[in-house]
């Protein structure tokens, strides 16, 4: 195989792979994105706005390796900040194509309704900086690919193109490229594996070339997804946009009356995308009546009320046995040079939390920073020369360690959310401090329907625009600690009352028994 010192190969052309290609494009002569499915790569077609239902189904069918193609997708504010560094104008392209944007000042409680199990959030304007981009996966993926192709002429997307394996040097200490199923070999200075947790490429590498075993932790709540599309009624479309429902969600806690999640968002093509997710292996029936009955049974019926007059489009799209939260600790292995594992293969998150795209964006931003550092440290980037394989020696393990840091916050928040449920399968070795923090967060959630200060801070943490430490600032502590103290006092009072009741029942029996024995 002839040497190609200035090419980067990205295996996997989905959203994460596109972000990683954008991170690599400025410091390599060529970036080749390979995906085994047939993907649209013609720029004019990719930039076409507003897709109808049939188009969505056809696009999802063409990308058959992505099982969640027709499930809900969102890009949270923290992820949008990272994507803006990689693909400037991506958010604007998505909005032009039909995505819905919930930004600063959007009316929480009217157009945007959220219920975390104990009641809806109070009516208020979303805090400054708040941002959630709503759309289908098809839209996000196409817009990302359009921005990539338009902004980086040195990127080539090849589909359908299946990778058979990565190619090692004679000493098996570094990766020199990839071999396709067709037999073609593509030399590369860096290979980025973004094929996800089901990757046969990673599995083969771990089996044949790695003498170590990757450490993995898994948390599984037995999640099943059921998604349907509905056409927004004409009478709703005739209303001013500020009077319509953009997003509505009932997201329960373990203590909620129902642990079924119901959610709705407005997506491109004047459609509602609605879902029901159930845990512990439970499923929703296949019929429309089952879907609507389940929504109607929720303590908060806003999703049902919004959909009851809408026209259903096609069948339900199920995502059964959704893979739970997983974390693979590749940073603890000695990885070969010029090969990194990113995306879902590094950390797969419970999709209920909507942070998958954001996690990929964090990793891509990290990759951009590390590759730029590598280029600048060799003083090649300033001379207009791109990175070569020799200049990346030793960087694979560094990138893997930095990727671990990039996914730590999303993974921790999702893991702790999963562990709230007793039926969650996974290690529960929480320290006393973690248990105290968990009890405090429970108190924060108790106050979400009642305190605008608590709700606003919670929203900013949920979209990764503020760190979780903000939930412990003085203004929040002043509200949460008295609430927890009241709960503790109430619990003590209930326990005391039960003890007194027990004494009141047992004491007369003891006296009666003593009298009987005396006679």
pLDDT for 490: 60
> Can you say whether the dihedral through the CA atoms of 349, 102, 126, 455 is positive or negative?
negative
- Cα–Cα separations (whole angstroms), residue 331 to 136, 397, 401, 462: 32, 6, 5, 26
- Cα–Cα separations (whole angstroms), residue 504 to 494, 496, 509: 15, 12, 9
| 282's tokens | 């439970």
Per-residue pLDDT of 234-266, as tens digits, reads 999 999 887 889 999 999 888 887 889 999 999
Per-residue pLDDT of 180-218, as tens digits, reads 999 999 999 999 999 876 666 766 666 666 666 778 889
CB-based contact 444:480 (threshold 8 Å): yes
* Same fold yes or no, 1-36+161-217+326-419 and 224-319: no
pTM of the model: 0.89
CA dist., res. 136 & res. 134, Å (int): 7
pLDDT for 171: 79
CATH architecture under which domain 224-319 falls: 2-Layer Sandwich (3.30)
Q: Closest by alpha carbon to 403, among 467, 332, 325, 322?
A: 332
Question: Hey, where are the domains in the chain?
Answer: 1-36+161-217+326-419, 224-319, 429-519
Q: What is the DSSP string of 229-268?
A: EEEPPHHHHTS-GGGS--EEEE---TTSS---EEEEEEET
- Span 1-36+161-217+326-419: which CATH code? 3.50.50.60
Neighbouring C-beta atoms of residue 353, cutoff 10 Å: 19
DSSP assigned state of 9? E
Neighbouring C-beta atoms of residue 55, cutoff 10 Å: 14
Per-residue pLDDT of 418-464, as tens digits, reads 888 888 888 887 788 888 888 899 999 999 999 999 999 999 999 99
pLDDT for 380: 47
Mapping DSSP to helix (H, G, I), strand (E, B) and coil, where does residue 146 land? helix
């Amino acid at each position: 195989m002839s040497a190609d010192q200035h090419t980067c190969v990205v295996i996997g052309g989905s959203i994460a792979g596109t972000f990683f290609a954008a991170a690599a494009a400025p410091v390599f002569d060529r970036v080749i994105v390979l995906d085994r499915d047939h993907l649209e790569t013609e720029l004019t077609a990719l930039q076409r706005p507003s897709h109808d239902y049939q188009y969505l189904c056809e696009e999802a069918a063409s990308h058959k390796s992505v099982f969640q193609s027709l499930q809900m997708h969102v890009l949270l504010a923290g992820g949008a900040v990272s994507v803006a560094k990689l693909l400037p104008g991506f958010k604007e392209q998505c909005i032009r194509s039909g995505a819905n944007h919930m930004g600063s000042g959007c009316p929480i409680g009217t157009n945007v309704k959220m219920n975390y199990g104990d009641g809806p959030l109070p009516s208020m304007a979303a805090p400054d900086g708040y941002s959630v981009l709503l759309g289908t996966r098809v839209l996000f993926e196409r817009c990302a690919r359009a921005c990539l192709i338009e902004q980086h002429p040195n990127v080539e997307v090849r589909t359908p193109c299946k990778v058979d394996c990565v190619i090692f040097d004679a000493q098996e200490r570094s990766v020199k490229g990839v071999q396709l199923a067709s037999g073609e070999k593509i030399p590369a200075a860096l290979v980025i594996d973004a094929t996800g947790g089901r990757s046969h490429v990673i599995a083969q590498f771990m089996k044949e070339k790695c003498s170590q075993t990757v450490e993995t932790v898994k948390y599984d709540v037995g999640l099943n997804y059921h998604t349907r599309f509905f056409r927004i009624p004409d009478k709703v479309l005739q209303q001013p946009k500020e009077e319509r429902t953009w997003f509505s969600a009932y997201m329960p806690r373990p203590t909620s009356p129902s642990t079924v999640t119901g959610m709705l968002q407005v997506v491109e093509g004047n459609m509602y995308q609605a879902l029901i997710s159930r845990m512990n292996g439970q499923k929703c029936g296949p019929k429309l009546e089952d879907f609507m009955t389940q929504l109607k049974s929720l303590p908060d019926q806003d999703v049902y009320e919004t959909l009851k007059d809408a026209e259903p489009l096609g069948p339900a799209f199920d995502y059964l046995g959704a893979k739970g939260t997983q974390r693979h600790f590749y940073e603890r292995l000695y990885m070969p040079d010029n090969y990194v594992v990113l995306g879902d293969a590094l950390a797969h998150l419970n999709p209920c939390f909507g942070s998958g795209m954001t996690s990929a964006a964090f990793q891509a931003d990290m990759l951009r920073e590390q590759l730029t550092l590598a280029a600048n440290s060799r003083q090649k980037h300033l001379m207009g020369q791109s990175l070569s394989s020799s200049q990346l020696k030793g960087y694979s393990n560094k990138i893997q360690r930095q990727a671990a840091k990039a996914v730590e916050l999303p993974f921790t928040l999702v893991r702790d959310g999963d562990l709230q449920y007793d039926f969650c399968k996974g290690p529960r070795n929480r320290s006393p401090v973690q248990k105290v923090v968990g009890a405090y967060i429970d108190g924060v959630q108790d106050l979400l329907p009642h305190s605008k200060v608590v709700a606003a801070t919670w929203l900013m943490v949920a979209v990764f625009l503020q760190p979780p430490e903000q939930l412990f600032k003085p203004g929040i502590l002043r509200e949460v600690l008295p609430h927890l103290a009241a709960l503790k006092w109430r619990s003590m009072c209930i326990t005391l009352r039960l003890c007194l009741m027990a004494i009141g029942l047992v004491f007369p029996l003891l006296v009666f028994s003593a009298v009987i024995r005396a006679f």
